[in-house]
Structure 1
Amino acid sequence: MADVVVDPGVPPEDARLLRESRRVLIKMRHGWVPEPRRSVSGLRARRIASLGGVAFFGLLMGVGFLGRGLGLLLLVLLGIPLMIVLFIRSDLAEEDDDEEDYEREVYEQLRWYEGRYVLPDDLDESSARILGRAQRAIAAVTGSRVNAEGLLDDVRNAVMLPAQEWEIARLLAKLSALRTKHRETVSQGLTPKVEAVAAPLARALDSSEDAVLARVEALERYAANVADAERAYLAQHQIEELRGRLHQYEELVAETGADGFAVPELERLAEDADRLEQALRRSVSSAQEAFRYLDP
């Protein structure tokens, strides 16, 4: 299953960012808001002050207490390593700040899209399985050669299939959230009166899942018809390749004197090609008919 399912109405660049920002989206979903931006000059000032303090401390030890020569030696042995450590820590702090800046930018861009994406974490186990089935069916259609060659309604596929995926994901996310709350409530134990109310509500949840599942099964039927067309398409091309070399076979069997054995088989190639072309047309028609059941 894809990490993030996005409403097809989201602009493409923002949709791409949504799909690439699952970690930030999860933090946002749990109420995370980035801290105000810290100034770069303030970070540099702190680093300079720290390094200056180390240098001053080393010189103070060398000149004021232990003499110039020994002080300089201690500065080399202690001050410089400490400065290196502080430089490294400062660089790591800058990397953390860069990460915070990136997450802040993502937050500013994507905070308007709450409700227009579904995360894997939004789905319970049953819903995740159902969405996975839908996505596999969609991938089978969009990845087929008959779709790439335009034998299907590729324009409608490009519009309708993402819309179907989003609608299925959106409904399953709502179902999962409500089902989780329902289970938490009933797990506490119910009185007979409350149970009488809860039971029909549980059936409503099951009915909703069945309705979404019917959408997915329609997608799977469409994918199955496309698979039939794909097999017919492949077989037709294989036959066409063989038929294109038919004269070479005929020359070979004539030269070898095997006419009586091979020619009848070779002549069937043309008939097979015609039958496969008809089968392909029927398969494509069946796929297009199945597609109509996906229209809203």
Structure 2
Amino acid sequence: MENWIDQPITDPAVPRRDARRLTVALALLLGRTDPEPPRWVRRMFGFGGLCAAVSGAALGLTAVEAGRGSTGLIAMMAFLAGVLFVGVSLPNPAERLARQYAGRYVIPAELDEPALDLLARARRAVLDVTGSRVHRRGLLDAIANDVVLPERLWEIARLVRIHADLRAEQALALTEVITPELTAVLGPQQEALRRSVAAVTERVWELEAYASRVRSADSALRASELQQSNGTYLDLLAQTGDTEGMRALNAQADALTGILREAVAAGRTL
């Protein structure tokens, strides 16, 4: 099973190249066992390294002018050590990229269970649509699938992340002594959160309804391929004068065409 919960859901506005780099960067950061050094430690290394590098360079120039080989070697070592410390003080490329796009990606693994459940349902619906045969053959609305679906998935991911953060905040507040003042504040906040969750759930239902129609359209496409041999069956029925059977075959063809049209219309309503 694909370990999708470690794969970020990224804002579609992020350039594709950076989105791919961000996925790799976050995978590296999630798999890292050593914690990132505190900022003050990095600053200390950077300042110390800079001083060592400058001092080493100055001492080296002085040694060259004076013709002192041993002093020049010491100066070179000081310079290299300074460069090393400066390098340690700088954040690695993965950290820089993650900070650059902070707030524009959601890592499912960091969500709580209710948020993860909604996001998983939305993601599954999107994959069902984009992986369908009718989509690959260009029979659906390309704008709905290529533009709207990624935007909807990102919007749902962004909102459920806020929901998870607010639930954690409320759970922490409920560990304190419950007072009338606390209840007066938490009550409206909980109701606002409930309404927002209900609205996002409705959006997920819309995606699932669209995916259901697309699955029906896929079945209709398969059935329409089988209908290519309907001519043989119609000739067979005509030879026996079975007009009722001929009407049934023709009605089935019309119904399958209608199913495909409904799927296209559902995509456009998004």
Q: Is the TM-score greater than 0.5? A: yes
Aligned with residue 174 of structure 1, among 157, 162, 165: 162
- Given that 2:126 and 2:211 are in contact with CA atoms closer than 8 Å, whether structure 1 keeps it comes out as yes
Percent of residue pairs identical? 34
* Aligned equivalent of 2:69: none
- Worse overlay, 4-13 or 181-190: 181-190
Aligned with residue 143 of structure 2, among 155, 158, 179: 155
* Aligned equivalent of 2:258: 282
Cα offset for 1:266? 10
Matches within 5 A, 1:73-152: 104-152=92-140
- Given that 1:137 and 1:220 are in contact with CA atoms closer than 8 Å, whether structure 2 keeps it comes out as yes
- Given that 1:14 and 1:110 are in contact with CA atoms closer than 8 Å, whether structure 2 keeps it comes out as no
Structure 2 distance, partners of 1:173, 1:135, is 15
Cα offset for 1:268? 8.4
Give the TM-score taking structure 2 as reference length.
Answer: 0.69
Structure 2 distance, partners of 1:132, 1:263, is 54
Cα offset for 1:212? 0.5
Greater C-alpha radius of gyration: 1
Structure 1 distance, partners of 2:267, 2:180, is 47
* Aligned equivalent of 1:8: 12
Amino acid at match of 1:158: D
In the alignment of these two chains, the number of paired residues is 218
Gaps of 5+ in 1: 39-99, 251-258
Amino acid at match of 1:183: A
* Aligned equivalent of 1:49: none
Structure 1 distance, partners of 2:191, 2:203, is 19
Structure 2 distance, partners of 1:238, 1:226, is 18
SS of equivalent residue, structure 2 residue 23: helix
Give the TM-score taking structure 1 as reference length.
Answer: 0.63
Q: Rate the CA distance shift 1:153–1:269 in 2: closer, same or farther, 3 A.
A: farther
- Given that 1:243 and 1:270 are in contact with CA atoms closer than 8 Å, whether structure 2 keeps it comes out as no
Q: Rate the CA distance shift 1:192–1:9 in 2: closer, same or farther, 3 A.
A: same
Matches within 5 A, 1:1-296: 1-2=4-5, 3-26=7-30, 32=36, 104-240=92-228, 242-243=229-230, 246=232, 274-294=250-270
CA RMSD of aligned residues (A): 3.5
Cα offset for 1:163? 0.6
Cα offset for 1:192? 2.4
Structure 2 distance, partners of 1:114, 1:199, is 31
Amino acid at match of 2:174: V
Cα offset for 1:285? 2.5
Structure 1 distance, partners of 2:226, 2:244, is 14
Q: Rate the CA distance shift 1:286–1:183 in 2: closer, same or farther, 3 A.
A: same
Structure 2 distance, partners of 1:266, 1:151, is 34
Q: Rate the CA distance shift 1:184–1:137 in 2: closer, same or farther, 3 A.
A: same
- Given that 1:229 and 1:284 are in contact with CA atoms closer than 8 Å, whether structure 2 keeps it comes out as yes
Amino acid at match of 1:22: L
Structure 2 distance, partners of 1:210, 1:10, is 28
Amino acid at match of 1:108: R
